Amino acid sequence: MNAIGVAAVAESYQTFNPRAYLQNNYMPPRANFTSEEYAVPWKLRRLADAFATGKIHGKTLIDIGSGPTIYQLLSACDFFEEIVATDYLEVNRGEIHSWVHGDDPGAFDWSPYIQHVCKIEGKGEPWKEKEQKLKKKLKKILPIDVHQPNPLGFVLSQPADALISTFCIEAVSPDRPSFDRALQNVTTLLKPGGHFLMIGGLEESFYLAGEAKLSVVPMKEEDIKESFIKAGYRIHDFHSYSMPPSLKIGVDDVQGIFFINGQKSA
């Protein structure tokens, strides 16, 4: 492991500002729900379609590097008994805790996301029901370090039935070998035969979150596929999205977004 690079990443995250990060990526123009040509509806569609197959379900889903967001869990919540959110930073775990417990008037408003997901899932589910369902299932919000062979420490009782992760591993890995090692580390948390849904940035080298400027290891489509195969996954589905110029707003240099559905070999 590139210990110096990983330490530098950890240092850079000390000034990560969750509110600035949410503003940059989860408010307009990126949070434009009018068409799936925009990034957020594209991501929500990928996740809704993956869970709609009914093939990804079980007792526990772990979200790797949740950040301060919960949108990535909205379509999953019908298919798991419990959902575990994780992040390296207490400030991000605190943002999720505030949303779950509704005890902070300044907490981020995810209702447009919940309404959009209910609409595209087409089950006629009232959005407040989905909101309550997710809050009830989000039972644990744990510290994680994907660079540790045992990313959750020894907290986990048994392997998860599925993993999900959005924009995390490429944004915390100084180089490709570190990315591959981190993917292998988190794969130990998943049962054989379990699915891992990952969304992330393509060809991204940096992003901003308030004072913090974070480095990202630029990954191409083929790099992601190769890393998943090396980590022992069968690739069930892969989609990529190209960032329109209107969404290149200076908060990062991301060129596109990938979605991958991998199944851990039994």
Instruction: Report the interface residues with ligand JIL, using CB under 6 A.
Output: 13, 16, 25, 30, 39-40, 65, 67, 87-89, 92, 144-147, 167-168, 171-172, 201, 204, 207, 247, 252, 254
Is the CB of 147 or the CB of 264 nearer to ligand JIL? 147
Shortest distance, CB of residue 228 to ligand JIL, whole angstroms? 18
- Specify the DSSP element, H or E, that contains 97: helix 90-101
Which residues, 6+ apart, have CB-to-CB distance to 132 below 8 Å? none
Shortest distance, CB of residue 3 to ligand JIL, whole angstroms? 12
Is the CB of 22 or the CB of 79 nearer to ligand JIL? 22
Shortest distance, CB of residue 223 to ligand JIL, whole angstroms? 16
Is the CB of 108 or the CB of 207 nearer to ligand JIL? 207
Report the C-alpha gap between 76 and 83 in whole angstroms.
9
Shortest distance, CB of residue 204 to ligand JIL, whole angstroms? 6
Shortest distance, CB of residue 106 to ligand JIL, whole angstroms? 18
> Which residues are bridge partners to 252 per DSSP?
207
Report the C-alpha gap between 195 and 214 in whole angstroms.
29
If you search the block for the tokens 């940096």, which residue do you land on? Answer: 206
Is the CB of 242 or the CB of 265 nearer to ligand JIL? 242
Which residues, 6+ apart, have CB-to-CB distance to 263 below 8 Å? 193, 194, 195, 196, 233, 234, 236
- Specify the DSSP element, H or E, that contains 7: helix 3-12
Is the CB of 79 or the CB of 144 nearer to ligand JIL? 144
